[in-house]
Amino acid sequence: MSNILENRTWRYATKKFDNTKKVSDENLELLLEATRLSASSYGLQPYHLFVITDPEIREKLRPVSWGQTQITDASHLIVFANVTDFGEELIDSYLENTSTTRNIPGEGLKDYGDFMKSKLLNLPEETKAVWTSKQAYIAFSNMIQAAAELKIDTCPIEGFESESYNKILGLEEKNLNASVVLAVGYRSEEDETQHYAKVRRSREELFTHI
């Protein structure tokens, strides 16, 4: 079995973390960089990641996360927050970054910028928020897979009160919304779910070749 499949089979949604084991600074930087390099529509990356280790903040987040122990016991808690609304500034910032990174005159990017603006800026605010949340999920998935490559355990968490997270982390004033959460660390030997066979739909059910 290739490492690609081996690592994905090894990975599972860790229910109980060993709170004595911490992800090293080096591996954390690898995870964050792998996530930074994630695919994103137009390359805009309309989200922000909060890497939370402060035990007091995590204690506040746990009750609004259905009391899940992963919130406080994992080495790190990563909150993926999507931009709730945006205007030209999101696209203009990307174009400026592209101009600098690729050494391209800004005027050479104007047509592409106008195209993006024509597709995105007139969307309803609710539609924009859905789209930016989807972009955050792409990055979220990339972090999960990168962690598996490093044999770092994760638990994807959607069971939390987004509005409470926004209040505790002060996200609303930053035009952000807590979209999804990832607990990162190392499994406890007491976590029995690590021994469960992975249950997925069969290839015949899942794939259609046309």
Span 53-101, pLDDT tens digits: 999 999 999 999 999 999 999 999 999 999 999 999 999 999 999 999 9
Examine the pLDDT at 37 and tell me if it is beyond 90: yes
Give exposure, 55-66, as e/b (b: 16+ Cβ within 10 Å).
eeebebbbebbe
pLDDT, mean over the chain:
97
Q: For residue 2, what pLDDT is reported?
A: 77
Packed helices 125-149 and 25-36: angle between N→C axes, nearest 10 degrees: 140
Closest CA to 25 of 76, 70, 71: 76
Q: Which tens digits make up the pLDDT trace of 137-193?
A: 999 999 999 999 999 999 999 999 999 999 999 999 999 999 999 999 999 999 999
Domain 3-85+129-206 has CATH 3.40.640.10: no
Q: Look at the block and give the residue holding tokens 């945006």.
A: 86
Q: Mean pLDDT over residues 16-35, rounded?
A: 98
3-state DSSP assignment of residue 21: coil
Examine the pLDDT at 1 and tell me if it is beyond 60: no
Examine the pLDDT at 14 and tell me if it is beyond 80: yes
Give exposure, 137-168, as e/b (b: 16+ Cβ within 10 Å).
bbbbbbbbebbbebebbbbbbeebebeebbeb
Q: For residue 15, what pLDDT is reported?
A: 98
Q: Mean pLDDT over residues 37-65, rounded?
A: 98
**Nearest-angstrom CA–CA distance, 75 and 183:** 8
- For the chain, count helices (H), then strands (E): 9, 4
